[in-house]
Structure 1
């Protein structure tokens, strides 16, 4: 927070304060009203394009200024308070004034889970909000997902179609109440309504049926998480073979019964954002929830409707029965974006859900559930969306307004505004027309609510990505950024690293500067420039991209590399192409990759853990799940001219025929130790001690923790992303950062200003 720009007189009579940050839609104006009233001040408070504008007059204005940032509402975030004396006004009393329009520089806050006070009212028979599934106040409820534009007033949200009843209007206008200027206020008399009763929903779930409900950011599918037949039906209807489902539980205490949970994980689970948190499973749900994995995603109720469903189910539970657990997953046909429209949901979910529960409050922008895990003692994102978006990332310098469009998988977009970067919610993979429409809708919505007109667009180097084609057709100057450079730059931008840094990027696939398939890269990054210092030893990819979906092919590549191609047909007899793959591997022009992801696939294939993947990362996740204790094979790697080879380790795994648990532990431990050795050698050669770690492989907790620990032991400063995922979900921030630095440098060279 900045200090006032001018020294105040000993006893100024009137002050103007401009408060910037996340201060709209969080009860900030009522808070200011109460504070000014306690100090017996006159004046007003209003939302405006910059945030909140305050004028106060009276003897205690200095005390008011000192107290203002001390006890703000729980969802408020103050970035800056600017104060200036102004001429006195003859008016008396303090009021909340009408919002002032203009070019927007403020922001909206994320959606927030039901607060304790609203929850108490929800189950209080004497409250007019009793069992009302849309209860909210200034401290909780939807924000981002119902906001059409700023300033955050009811007329700018999807609640504008619901005129307040007399009781809600009275609450809205009561300065002493919790709903004073709560823009989403409503009650059973005047607000949104569910299409079905809670008893109908509970009866369907208890009967083993699948229920679709309209949540905060989109439709969700629910079923009994302990009923294997129900979970199997959901998998079959949703065409989701093995990808894990999240489980929703009523309370954190119920989560303790379901999974191993430490203090940090419980705190994360109970955050107001209500994310899905990966926890080590106690195996007390249906086996098909997370087949072959050691962890399950657990979440607590995020909206009043979730609480009411558990309340209705509880009435059907016998005393000796375990607490209810519900599968809670995105309601969308396979490969399509999350559904938000009622008519589309009724049509598209008819073959998936047995009961579809709609309501008449529109979702303006869809947002899936966020997913996190505690890694190296700190919460880390796997997917960033509802509850966290659109909180900005503060940059070390102001940037021109840039739109960065990410890559193809786990897409996000980033918009810069001054020294802030706004990274969108997780958008999914841009593989369908509907997904690309969602991508375009998100760009339009984000630039609109931020009131930003980009001057340039940053994109991936890959020429065939949907995001690249969009950028090239957008009509603005384009700035291509290499995939792994963007991964590294994302972490540097988040942590405010402005000096040179080393970057270890362990990823699945990225288009290299030489048009090759990169994915295990050691880089040196300095500003907008990077140098490739080294890479993992290349492996052939028989069948090209198909090898990324079929780990047995990468295993065959390793066997071929060791002159054991004759074993391929026997090891992988179940694969029809195994007898012909030698022809692909013998070709001089066979595609090769330095990908760390493909190395994980190769080991999973060799160990028989996974030969065919039903979802991205399945092989690596199942390999990680086997690890009990990482171990290191002495001399299990070589580093020659910057190329890190795990060939000695692979030879050991093939020759010793270890069981999968031993082999998985040895692979993880040796790869981690090899990477630390690789980084330390580069640090000695360059004199650089800061190391950023990124790429999808750093979702692997064993790998991340081992490499972080090893780097610190070597005297290095390792940095993992904390506010974005290490996978492609963080890529757009890195693109924006590199593009912004390039444009800033060009302006400096030309003598211009940004």
Structure 2
């Protein structure tokens, strides 16, 4: 942005300081400079038309939640914006989800078809009005309109708001077109409605997020700290994972088996109006089938959701860029990301990197995001999802094409995971020949270092479910020494066979059988497996045969698979119907132990050579199960043991490397007991702990690490590939 200002020296200095110290609500000043020029005789305030074709310095802003001023107008019967579901101003409203290209002018957005009425036009050109140059500005006379349809696509007679609210109170399922796509909504206190939604969507146990009318309603169902309230009310308006209150009227099917609940406040006028008129707490879950992308088109919603939704609340403003809700929590005094998407994308992460070629990092196959690295700015995409379907791969390509335009990035290097069978790897190689393969856990380490501004080598404690290792094994419990330039593997969880590959990850009892067989021995292990999992019938015998014949087994050092095994041994999760379900169940069991867990000693374990060996722990857990020890006690001791084992291995690594900085990355660090326990104990021992604050520790942040590694290790003689 360039500002030409004329006036007395004292006035100009005051003007500059006002901008620097009190910028507008959404302004972020990353750098500035001033230059004295001859006067031009300016006498009024003018915003010049944006000039295309210049070197791009500004990208589109993230979508911003409804501001207090617009909320007041929407609820004021005397205001012309009363009950208008697309009210916005310069402080709020859609940005990223409606923009085609830059510069960010109305003609390049989904608002182009809506001609401003005289009242809106007057506000738009008035420098003193808060809607001055607000590109999505609209009102009932000139803006988009809502329609309520039945599941055959026919309009429903009557007032859309009253009818939609009534349908929700009756237990109906509504598909609602929001900012970045459709949601499926039901009354969150209606047991039958929530059960019906689960049945129709085919989402049997994965927790639903809810949207609450206001903070008071959130506090009725959850414990909310001041920091968590700040996250809920932030301009990004993410889903915030909170601790649930017991004995409320929330339908238990909303988040079965969990003591937490993902909650958000209404971030658009449409959501606000619906929650004011209808039930004050709604399930608000992404409208898609199975692992397909979030639906953003009305025609597609009517086709694919006709058997799911009873009614469709839609509108005629196009969603240009689909964008799922972001998910965060407050952990250890900081924001902890589960998913970084709406409200944060496409804001850039500022990195401490030397300049170099533009980079595209393709990310992982699970929880995919990609990253565009331009100069010292990293642009992570919105949440794409799992790349196993053709539809999601198409969505990946579309999102890449759009984000490249918005940030002016022309990648010369493409980074991808080393796994030869990953869809993300194939997508990367389809884009060009200059492709850099990056080991999965090295990328996790680099991602954490990059967002913390660490350019020197550090230790990395990388714990997750799956990552292709340099030896062809499945890694996931690693202590690395590394930087952007490379890494060494110092310690790892001892290898155990993974029966069935992906099936083994879906069925935690597979890993339980493997651990029993491996550590108790073939005879006792087989007997124990049959005692615990005999109901699995022929499937169990197939797994035992695979182990006895060493058939189709891949060794794994995954901490995620260790969580699976212990959860299955305890009988609390035999099938992962969603990612990390067994680990979540085991954490919940440990939390149920309460404050007593601190008094129980860890199970035994061993550190041998470069291995962290949990064999003694597995044997002890089996003995506890035989003796009828309560599952919460076993789960709590398991967490304590894992913390202690990782700490001891890190201390050994630090003793011979001399390094005291430790980066924690990988999806296992969503576990609050593990994160808090390891972070606290490392700090007590004088370590500096680097955690993720701006991107998720899971694979949703992996592309950032791939990008910085590729940039750091690039060769100047390579030819452009895109």
Alignment of 1:64-143 (within 5 A): 64-101=15-52, 102-143=54-95
Partner of 2:618: 650
Alignment of 1:37-436 (within 5 A): 52-59=1-8, 60-101=11-52, 102-196=54-148, 197-283=160-246, 284=248, 285-313=250-278, 324-397=280-353, 398-436=355-393
Verify the 8 A CA contact 2:328 2:338 in the aligned structure 1.
yes
**Structure 2: tracts of 5 or more residues without a match:** 149-159
Partner of 1:741: 712
Structure 2 SS opposite 1:615: coil
Using the alignment, how far apart are the partners of 2:147 and 2:484 within structure 1?
54
Verify the 8 A CA contact 1:75 1:109 in the aligned structure 2.
no
Structure 2 SS opposite 1:161: coil
Structure 1 SS opposite 2:441: helix
Using the alignment, how far apart are the partners of 2:142 and 2:702 within structure 1?
43
Verify the 8 A CA contact 2:323 2:341 in the aligned structure 1.
yes
Shift of 1:634: 4.5
Partner of 2:157: none
| Aligned with residue 514 of structure 2, among 557, 560, 569 | 557
* RMSD between aligned residues: 1.4
Structure with more contact order per residue of length (Cα contacts < 8 Å, sep ≥ 6)? 2
Partner of 1:439: 396
1:702 aligns with 2:664: no
Q: 1:634–1:142: structure 2 CA closer, same or farther, 3 Å change rule? A: closer
| Aligned with residue 489 of structure 1, among 446, 451, 463 | 446
Partner of 2:574: 611
Structure 1 SS opposite 2:373: strand
Relative to structure 2, which stretch is displaced further, 537-546 or 480-489?
537-546
Structure 1 SS opposite 2:2: strand
Structure 1 SS opposite 2:712: helix
Aligned residues: 687
Shift of 1:292: 1.2
Shift of 1:692: 0.3
Structure 2 SS opposite 1:255: helix
Using the alignment, how far apart are the partners of 1:463 and 1:450 within structure 2?
29
Using the alignment, how far apart are the partners of 1:426 and 1:438 within structure 2?
11
Verify the 8 A CA contact 1:520 1:594 in the aligned structure 2.
yes
Relative to structure 2, which stretch is displaced further, 506-515 or 539-548?
539-548
**Structure 1: tracts of 5 or more residues without a match:** 1-51, 315-323
Verify the 8 A CA contact 1:691 1:717 in the aligned structure 2.
yes
Shift of 1:93: 2.5
1:633 aligns with 2:584: no
Using the alignment, how far apart are the partners of 2:83 and 2:422 within structure 1?
47
Shift of 1:346: 1.3
Using the alignment, how far apart are the partners of 2:43 and 2:227 within structure 1?
49
| Aligned with residue 692 of structure 1, among 652, 663, 667 | 663
Shift of 1:352: 0.6
1:719 aligns with 2:719: no
Verify the 8 A CA contact 2:176 2:313 in the aligned structure 1.
yes
Shift of 1:88: 2.4
Using the alignment, how far apart are the partners of 1:696 and 1:62 within structure 2?
49
Q: Runs of 4 or more off by more than 3 Å in structure 1?
A: 629-635
Verify the 8 A CA contact 1:429 1:435 in the aligned structure 2.
yes
Shift of 1:569: 1.9
Partner of 1:574: 535
Structure 2 SS opposite 1:521: strand
Verify the 8 A CA contact 1:373 1:380 in the aligned structure 2.
yes
Relative to structure 2, which stretch is displaced further, 651-660 or 115-124?
651-660
How big is each residue's C-alpha offset from its partner over 1:169-192, in whole Å with a ceiling of 9 and x where there is no partner? 011111211111111100001000
